[in-house]
């Protein structure tokens, strides 16, 4: 399912494909995502539970829901969704990520449908999902509006779209580029392009243009003392996440 016309930026894909083998190394190049993952999952699971009336304390609370993890990488979000009972499709434009994700899912005893494909190809094929997880991807595509429109087409009526990205301001340049890539060396230099970062207001406008209704946004805030992340209703200055619906 390869799309001849897509929003894939081949240069961005190559960056992540080069790091594919390190997806499940908590101290490797994806250490920032491993650190952020509990906070991301807290937001995601609560949004899904709230929208679909699910009890997170029940066994397999997401059973019956079909979830797409677009830009799934090695499966850091796909696997928790599968453990919660959802039917999960993990899609990534970087071919090298898929075998890594497949092997880890098998080792974990999880049945996840991983595919080397794009949002546009899935939409053209008529795929439909209750939830689309679009985490830390939109700042890496060639055309955010085309990409978000494809994500909207992938949602069933009443579906939930969760999208996280990086704000664009002087603070995010210092923290995400200088701090994460040059000082802490959490990520290889050049992983992010500050000019591609998107402000929350810009993202809300793009989501609305794509046919989605934004209903929530929160910041992911890092505490350098405790080395933990938390959700914030006010501080969206660097990392942030949004929820929107397809009415």
Q: Closest by alpha carbon to 25, among 70, 76, 71, 95?
A: 76
What's this model's pTM, rounded to 2 decimal places? 0.88
Tens of pLDDT, residue by residue over 35-83, are 999 999 999 999 999 999 999 999 999 999 999 999 999 999 999 999 9
For residue 67, the cross-strand partners are: 88, 131
Binding-site annotation: residue ranges for S-adenosyl-L-methionine: 40, 71, 92, 135
Tens of pLDDT, residue by residue over 81-117, are 999 999 999 999 999 899 999 999 999 999 999 999 9
Task: Please classify residue 10 by burial: count the beta carbons closer than 10 Å to its beta carbon, then call 0-12 exposed, 13-18 middle and 19+ buried.
Answer: exposed
Query: What is the rounded distance in angstroms from the CA atom of residue 107 to the CA atom of residue 222?
Result: 31
Tens of pLDDT, residue by residue over 184-235, are 556 667 677 788 999 999 999 999 999 999 999 999 999 988 889 999 999 9
Binding-site annotation: residue ranges: 40, 71, 92, 135
């Amino acid at each position: 399912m390869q799309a001849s016309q897509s929003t894939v930026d081949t240069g961005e894909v190559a960056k992540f494909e080069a790091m594919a083998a390190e997806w499940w190394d908590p101290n490797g190049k994806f250490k920032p995502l491993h650190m952020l993952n509990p906070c991301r999952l807290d937001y995601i699971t609560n949004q899904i539970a709230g929208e679909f009336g699910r009890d997170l304390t029940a066994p397999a609370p997401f059973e019956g829901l079909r979830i797409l993890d677009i830009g799934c990488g090695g499966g850091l979000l796909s696997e928790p969704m599968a453990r919660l009972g959802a039917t999960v499709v993990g899609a990534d434009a970087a071919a090298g990520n898929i075998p890594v994700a497949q092997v880890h899912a098998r080792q974990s005893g999880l049945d996840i449908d991983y595919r080397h494909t794009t949002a546009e190809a899935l939409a053209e094929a008529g795929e439909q999902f209750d939830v689309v997880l679009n985490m830390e991807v939109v700042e890496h595509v060639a055309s955010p509006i085309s990409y978000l429109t494809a994500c909207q087409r992938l949602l069933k009526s009443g579906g939930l779209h969760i999208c996280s990205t990086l704000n664009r301001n002087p603070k995010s340049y210092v923290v995400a580029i200088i701090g994460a890539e040059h000082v802490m060396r959490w990520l290889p230099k050049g992983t992010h392009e500050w000019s591609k970062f998107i402000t929350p207001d810009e993202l809300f406008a793009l989501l609305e243009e794509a046919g989605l209704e934004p209903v929530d946004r929160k910041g992911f805030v890092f505490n350098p003392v405790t080395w933990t992340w938390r959700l914030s209703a006010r501080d969206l200055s660097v990392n942030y996440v949004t929820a929107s619906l397809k009415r």
